[in-house]
Structure 1
Amino acid sequence: MLPRLGQVLDFQSQALLLRAERQRLIASNIANADTPGYQAREMDFAQALREATAGVAPAGTVARTAPGHIAPAASLGGERHLRWAAASQTSLDGNTVDMDRERASFADNAVKYEAALRFINGSVRTMLDAIKGQSQ
């Protein structure tokens, strides 16, 4: 049971790191909404998560043999997962930030970040309760 819990926590922690990176990217787009010529960026979150969790084996399979098999946190949100955001309308100053899209993405990502954080907290709390129950 413990290896499976570790795999779930590994997956959720990788997702949490990527959500934080995506939030920083969206915040950067919003901060540069009035910067002439600024090109908005997006993260291919699904692809980044697939690559970040490639070393996390699904339940019932062989576990990884060394902690280094998962990419370090610093490389999770690397440039390879970023792409230029499609301009929703043309602007005279060449700025491609769509504030409505950025606000919606920011709110959506914040909710998903909070959900991942709550899941991790709940899993840890459950594990601690189980450990406390055995010692009493």
Structure 2
Amino acid sequence: MAISFDKGFELHAQGMLLRAKRAEVIGGNIANADTPGYKAKGMDFQKAMQQANHQQQAGMNKTHAKHFDVRTEINNSVDFRTPDQPDTGDGNTVDVQVERNLYLENSLEYQAGVQFLNGKIKALKSVISGGSA
């Protein structure tokens, strides 16, 4: 009997990819904090996860080169963020303190995802070996 890891890990793997993409977006904001006219971008993680979940439930696997690319769906969740601070005169909407906090929050959630996946893998190893984790 073959064990399918796709169903057990696919959504969590998508979550990890989305967290990595969100870290890139936030890092780009921080890197451009002093760039005149730069508009801060944000990623709606919940919307992106719903899209990933919908694709998983629909059973859409890319089996042909002309099928939709999941990376395009992820990029659709990235949009300009509504600024929390008034314009400083140069048109830049990045608030470095907010971005650093978002980056920290995202990295903690990413780390929690890694620990969750490690726990799942340990449990599966225990089941396969017939021992305790």
Q: TM-score, normalised by structure 1?
A: 0.80
Query: Paired residue for 1:98?
Result: 95
For structure 1, the 5+ residue unaligned runs are: 58-62
- Asked whether 1:83 is paired with 2:79, we answer yes
Letter in 1 for 2:17: L
Q: Alignment partner for residue 62 of structure 2, among 42, 64, 68?
A: 68
Distance in 2 (CA, whole Å) between partners of 1:8 and 1:116 is: 14
Is 1:29 aligned to residue 60 of structure 2?
no
Instruction: Determine what percentage of the aligned residue pairs are the same residue.
Output: 32
2:54 pairs with 1:54: yes
Counterparts of 1:67 and 1:86, CA distance in 2: 35
Structure 2: distance between partners of 1:130 and 1:108: 33
Q: Over aligned residues, Cα RMSD in angstroms? A: 2.3
Change (3 A) 1:49 1:33: same
How much does 1:76 deviate? 4.5
For residues 127 and 52 of structure 2, the distance between their equivalents in structure 1, rounded to whole angstroms, comes to 29
Taking structure 2 as the reference length, the TM-score comes to 0.81
Tell me how many residue pairs correspond in the alignment.
Answer: 124
Output the CA distance in 2 between the equivalents of 1:107 and 1:118: 17
2:20 counterpart of 1:15: no
1:130 is aligned to 127
Structure 2: 5+ residue stretches without partners: none
